[in-house]
Amino acid sequence: MTIRGWWPRRTENRLTKLSSEALFFDLDGTLTDPKVGITRCLQYALERLGEPVPRMSELLWCIGPPLYDSFEQLIGPERAQRGVDLYRERFAEVGLFENEPYPRIHDTLTVLRQQGHALYVASSKPRVFVQQIVQKFELSPFFEHCYGSELDGTRTDKSELLGFALADSGVNARCTTMIGDRSHDAIGAQNNGLKFIGVLYGYGSATEFKTAGANVWVETHEQLVSTLGHQTLDESVN
């Protein structure tokens, strides 16, 4: 199901002031940069399966979509689950923390909390990994709750995940914005009646957002804070 008529009106520079009480943040490519961990774990799994191993730069498209979907494209549906299992062998021990928070993300979250927003994480990554990453990089205090998928594949679809998160948190979808870097985030927001802001510092693009029907995106954390209707990031933290 696609919900129409929910996007803010397009503006010349794609920046529109959005009023929102609750904010759902994607993790990979939005709060943290997981490039090294995800691509090395993909390479590990492909090598174990006897497949050609692409360069890191050739695997960046896998950052964001559900992992099973990426392996379906890489090696076919018959071995996709085996690929996921091998990936997690390395990820659970090493790749989980081959990751780093984006510069100024702590300042950004501080400002948004000070402005009264309730913040949540909504990631297609398994919840057990989401919680460890958020805790490792000292992001936990900013968030009311972290939502993720289950290891058995439940709620890897972003639309399903956000529907669950809305029901569990009790927040009003009309007063909520999803912030993410891939089309899955935009489509998930659209299908649940949420507003959406795309971030271009992650692994998506303006073209990807437009194809998904979105028309609001930002390039920096400063623009994100401004788009949400607040003073600039530097003014807020000084």
Separation between Cα atoms, residue 164 and residue 124, nearest integer Å:
12
Separation of alpha carbons 221 and 30, rounded Å: 10
Q: What is the pLDDT of residues 83-123, one digit of tens each?
A: 999 999 999 999 999 999 999 999 999 999 999 999 999 99
What span, in angstroms and rounded, lies between the C-alpha atoms of 99 and 77? 28
Annotation says 107 is catalytic? no
Does any domain span residue 161?
A: yes
62 and 164 inside one domain: no
Domain containing residue 66: CATH number? 1.10.150.240
Q: Are residues 109 and 210 in the same domain?
A: yes
Indicate if the pLDDT at residue 17 is higher than 80: no
Structure confidence at residue 1 as a pLDDT band (50, 70, 90): very low
The whole-angstrom separation of Cα 184 and Cα 121 is: 15
Last residue within a domain, chosen from 97, 112, 142: 97
Same-domain status, 161 and 193: yes
In angstroms, the Cα distances linking 130 to 25, 43, 86, 124 are: 12, 21, 19, 9
Final residue of a structural domain among 77, 97, 117: 97
Expressed as residue numbers, the domain containing 213 is 22-33+100-237
Residue 2 resides in a domain: no
Q: Please state the pTM of the whole predicted model.
A: 0.86
Q: Do 152 and 114 belong to one domain?
A: yes
Q: Are residues 104 and 70 in the same domain?
A: no
Convert the pLDDT of each residue in 157-170 to its tens digit.
999 999 999 999 99
Which residue in the list 26, 28, 157, 185 is annotated as catalytic?
A: 26
| Tokens encoding 224 | 């994100």
